[in-house]
A and B are shown apart, each in its own frame.
Chain A
Amino acid sequence: MLKLIKEVLKVGEATLPYPFEPIEQMPGFRGKPHHDPERCIACAACAIACPPNALTITTDFDRGFQTWSLFMGRCIYCGRCEEVCPTGAITLSPDFELAVMNKQDLYERADYKLVSCQICGLYFAPLKEIEYVFELLRQKDMPEEALAGMRSRLETCPECRRKNDVPKVVNLYREEV
């Protein structure tokens, strides 16, 4: 009993004054994901990886934009989005105080323009994603003339590209034969 009293006196007060004082997290704590809309290319890698469907991508093909949205009510702070993001647009912050008065405040969204196909004119991919790929190719030292051709290839939707390419491949084959 004396030992216990000694222990209790030695420890003193263990309870922290939180929330009246901030509480410290360990480094590397996984809190609310922070989204940088400038860096994001709307590639949807995060939405595919997200286990609880907190991150979703919806596409409006008629009006030509793609919406990235995060619903904090579903987020489990696993950080898969951070891990799969090719541009580092999502990072997990140490922020864990997420109570809101209004459910709508738990939603975060960003809209991205889509590119329309040079041939059929239908919207098919986010502009920023295409620019990102183009930039990657430029940095791989692709020659200027090849780059120009690549640009128009990138701005063609997969469907039209297939329609274009199949006859070309067939012709190549015929020439060889």
Chain B
Amino acid sequence: MTVLTEEKPKVGKKYIEALRARFGASILDESWQAPDQVTVTVPLNSLPEVVENLYYEQGGWLATVVANDERPLNAQFAIYYVLSVEGTTGPSGDEEKVYVAVRAQIPPHQPEFPSVTPKVPAAIWYEREVRDMFGLQPVGLPDERRLVLPDDWPDQLYPLRKDTMDYRYRPEPTTEDETYEFINVEGEGIVQVPLGPLHMTSDEPGHFRLYVDGEYIVDADYRLFYVHRGMEKLAESRLNYDQVTFLADRICGICGYAHNVAYSTSIERALGIEVPARAQFIRTILLEVERLHSHLLNLGLACHFVGFDTGFMQFFRIREKAMKMAELLTGSRKTYGVNLIGGVRRDILKEQRTTTLQLLKELRDDAGRLVAMFLETPNIVQRTQNIGRLETQVARDYSPVGPTLRGSGFARDIRTIHPYCAYDRVPWTVIAKDGCDILARTLIRAEEFFESVSMVERCLEEMPEGPVLTEGFTYKPYQFALGYVEAPRGEDIHWSMLGDNQKIYRWKCRASSYNNWPSLRYMLRGNTISDAPLIVASIDPCYSCTERVTVVDIRKKKATIVPYKEMERYCIERKDSPLK
């Protein structure tokens, strides 16, 4: 076992020096978890300014915000704003890139902190979540509604506080009704269209409310987290370090392995464990195999939503090859379950390698033909160009991730910005486009698919021999670090702090869609209601299909319920509006 921090030089010191020059004595402490991970502690009242400085002055993007109940350790709560500081936000910055966590302590007798959201809008969801889960009040937060906890959850019960509740405890619901207050947009001719709470595009429930003027969307509001499963609490309470990898696999039905790698690397970094090179390559291969099936799924859905169902069927047919590939390499079509802390459990043998290379060749040919056909279909460009625009400034303010961000002109991909696994050892190109629309996001996925095929091929060819698992290390309590993976939809960020009883002390996992949701509102504005399902699908969200749509006419104070199938049909056929 080697300790990485002592071997490699630290990168990104200049950002911390700039902070010191600007804020002087406000930088109370600086500690490095890895060569490109640093945590600076600041007093509570300078938190918003420091985060703002890193975000807007030094080219930062908000990666995650972690609250931690550190009362058993130092009698304080702590909050960490983790930013990827990249110097420039231009298309191809060569500057040093480092993860800076801005940490502030919050005294338990006065559980509040100054909200960062007025200065950095990207923090909005995180601060709402911190208030729900830890009962720490963000003072000045513009949105006071609950985010994660359901409406019927008791007040004053903050699930992630260490002394609050057993992970098996299920409090009695406090109310029978939904009490969530959607934003209120009123005006001449504006109609509310709630979508949800069940099933909108694919898998999980979410409640959407669209405010429309005639056919055009003026604003949108949404309520998610109907399927919050309390995984963080479960991991902290019952599972040991290796077992959490299998739970991480189940965070998402599509990018589960990405979460798994993000979690594993967070623990490995915290302990300075060196993962064998062969294991790094295997992880890279499997992450890209996951991207193959995910991008094919999204391309298929894009076909479906513009009414090109034959294309949908064809994309799903070839996606089956990517699923078979995963089954061959890991033993399972999804929930690969091949990671342990320190490496992987399953090697790739010669026979598997040959079959995989053959499947990749077939996939490249098949997808090549299908993508060409897809783009030649006249409907596609017409339905996606300039629709669902995510303007560059909105993207900058809200830190969206993955193809959603790259479609708005930022060539930002964690695989090159903070290389992990074997991404710095195989050549590949970051795909970015500046169309800012659905078309750009869809094209990025199509092109990334072919990059991934080549990457898997290169990795299979260049994979070094050797062991695949590092063993025999000891877990050290209260070490913490960040793990990150560019999942098909954007980066998954995990922040882990180890505990002293063979269990994780705090595990904060942030899925990629979490960063994309807040900007969706801006993508929906100004588009027609028949494009709504298509726009939502274009961020490839991790959530789901609406079985019914309620239409509320504010002027007539009348509610009409339209089945979701009808909404979807309208998106596909675009005639006989259900609103008329």
For A16, the closest partner residue in chain B by CB is B320
CA distance A28 to B356 in the complex (A): 14
Across-interface contacts of A27 in B (CB, < 8 A): 328
Which one of A4, A14, A30, A49 lies within 8 Å of B332 (CB-CB)? A30
Is B335 interfacial (CB-CB < 8 Å)? yes
Q: Please tell me the number of chain A residues within 8 Å of chain B, measured between CB atoms.
A: 22
Inter-subunit contact B337/A78 (CB<8 Å)? yes
Inter-subunit contact B373/A7 (CB<8 Å)? yes
CA distance A7 to B310 in the complex (A): 11
Inter-subunit contact A26/B328 (CB<8 Å)? yes
For B351, the closest partner residue in chain A by CB is A27
CA distance A28 to B336 in the complex (A): 12
Which one of B243, B250, B324 lies within 8 Å of A26 (CB-CB)? B324
With contacts A7-B314, A14-B317 known, is A76 near B335, CB below 8 A?
yes
Is A79 interfacial (CB-CB < 8 Å)? yes
CA distance A78 to B331 in the complex (A): 9
CA distance A28 to B314 in the complex (A): 28
Q: In B317-339, which residues have CB < 8 Å from any A CB?
A: 317, 320, 324, 327-328, 331-332, 335, 337
Q: In B118-152, which residues have CB < 8 Å from any A CB?
A: none
With contacts A4-B310, A8-B310 known, is A79 near B337, CB below 8 A?
yes
Is A61 interfacial (CB-CB < 8 Å)? no
Is A77 interfacial (CB-CB < 8 Å)? yes
Inter-subunit contact A25/B327 (CB<8 Å)? yes
CA distance A28 to B345 in the complex (A): 13
CA distance A31 to B14 in the complex (A): 52
CA distance A84 to B168 in the complex (A): 28
> Separation in Å of the A90 CB from the closest CB of chain B?
15
Across-interface contacts of A131 in B (CB, < 8 A): none
With contacts A26-B324, A30-B332 known, is A83 near B246, CB below 8 A?
no
Q: Please tell me the number of chain B residues within 8 Å of chain A, measured between CB atoms.
A: 26
Is B350 interfacial (CB-CB < 8 Å)? no
Across-interface contacts of B337 in A (CB, < 8 A): 30, 76-79
Interface string of B293-322 (1 = CB under 8 A from A): 000000000000000001100100100100
Give the total number of A-B pairs whose CB atoms are below 8 A apart: 59
Identify whether the interface residues of B are mostly helix, strand, loop, or mixed.
Answer: helix
For B246, the closest partner residue in chain A by CB is A51
Is A140 interfacial (CB-CB < 8 Å)? no
CA distance A8 to B310 in the complex (A): 9
Across-interface contacts of B310 in A (CB, < 8 A): 4, 8
Inter-subunit contact A51/B247 (CB<8 Å)? yes
Across-interface contacts of B463 in A (CB, < 8 A): none
CA distance A100 to B239 in the complex (A): 29
Is A3 interfacial (CB-CB < 8 Å)? yes
Is A29 interfacial (CB-CB < 8 Å)? yes
Is B229 interfacial (CB-CB < 8 Å)? no
Is B228 interfacial (CB-CB < 8 Å)? no
Across-interface contacts of A26 in B (CB, < 8 A): 324, 327-328, 331
Inter-subunit contact A29/B332 (CB<8 Å)? yes
> Separation in Å of the A137 CB from the closest CB of chain B?
25
Q: In A43-68, which residues have CB < 8 Å from any B CB?
A: 49, 51-52
Across-interface contacts of A52 in B (CB, < 8 A): 246
For B335, the closest partner residue in chain A by CB is A76
Is A172 interfacial (CB-CB < 8 Å)? no
CA distance A108 to B335 in the complex (A): 24
> Separation in Å of the B345 CB from the closest CB of chain A?
7
> Separation in Å of the B252 CB from the closest CB of chain A?
15
A-B residue pairs, 3 tightest by C-beta: A30-B331, A51-B243, A26-B328
Binding site for B on A (CB under 8 A): 3-4, 7-8, 11, 14, 25-30, 49, 51-52, 76-80, 83, 92
Binding site for A on B (CB under 8 A): 239, 242-243, 246-247, 250, 310-311, 314, 317, 320, 324, 327-328, 331-332, 335, 337, 345-346, 352, 369-370, 372-373, 376
Ordered by A's residue number, 12 sampled pairs between the chains whose C-beta atoms are within 8 Å are A3-B376, A4-B311, A4-B314, A8-B310, A11-B314, A29-B332, A30-B332, A30-B337, A51-B246, A78-B246, A78-B335, A79-B337
* Additional A-B contacts beyond A4-B314, A51-B247, A83-B345 (20; CB < 8 A): A3-B372, A7-B369, A8-B310, A11-B314, A14-B320, A26-B324, A26-B327, A26-B331, A27-B328, A28-B352, A30-B332, A76-B246, A76-B335, A76-B337, A77-B332, A77-B335, A78-B335, A78-B337, A80-B246, A92-B331
